[in-house]
Amino acid sequence: MAISTRLRFEILRRDNFRCTYCGATPDEGELHIDHVVPVALGGTDIAQNLTTACAPCNTGKGSTSPSEELVAEVDRAVAVAVAAQKRAAEAIADEMDALDTFEGEVAQIWDAYVPQYRRQYASYPDLSSISTWHAAGVPLSLVEYATRLAVQAGHVPWPGKAGYMAAIIRNKLREVDYGENQIDQT
């Protein structure tokens, strides 16, 4: 089975783009992906059996068994990479949970201000807007303020209330970003 381009890149990245045998970098020569346990001796194409090698080290090694030190180093590098991937996946899951919680709180605010009989006409804020607010750290008090103003705005038809609410939040974020709410003290 051929090693995919993606797997090749991940092995190079895991090994810091250095030959694990001599430490050579791409500036010093071409880097290959090498089987720690050669295919001829039963090695496979799994990440734990792959390492970065410069061309001279890779071609000079041939079908010899690897040293215990190299196997231990590759195992260590794989363990570090796997741990980093796990931490990244956990961080993504935590962020998704936090976004779900925030969206639920926005929905509660919306439902508290939009009368039941108007909900069929009033579009709910889209998830893209809610995600942006969450990423920007918009406090729920601002969401509530914007919702209240949008619902009370008689000149805005019900289908446009969510867009009007989003505009209020966007304008408040601009005030913070650009200091438009600052009073010139000079």
pLDDT digits (tens, 9 = 90+) for 113-122: 998 888 788 7
Q: What is the pLDDT of residue 147?
A: 95
Judge whether 50 lies within some domain. yes
**Letter for the amino acid at 110?**
W
Q: Within this chain, do residues 111 and 167 fall inside the same structural domain, yes or no?
A: yes
What's the average model confidence in pLDDT over 49-66?
77
| First-last CA distance in the chain | 71
What's the average model confidence in pLDDT over 29-35?
89
Q: Among 66, 82, 117, where does a domain finish?
A: 66
Judge whether 52 lies within some domain. yes
Q: What is the pLDDT of residue 101?
A: 95
Range of the domain at 125: 102-178
Maximum pairwise Cα distance, the chain? 81
Asked if pLDDT for residue 74 goes beyond 60, the answer is yes
Asked if pLDDT for residue 130 goes beyond 50, the answer is yes
**Letter for the amino acid at 124?**
Y
Judge whether 157 lies within some domain. yes
Q: What is the pLDDT of residue 186?
A: 43
In percent, the amount of the chain with pLDDT more than 70 equals: 90
139: helix, coil or strand? coil
What's the average model confidence in pLDDT over 89-114?
93
Judge whether 77 lies within some domain. no
Q: How far apart are CA 65 and CA 121, in angstroms?
A: 72
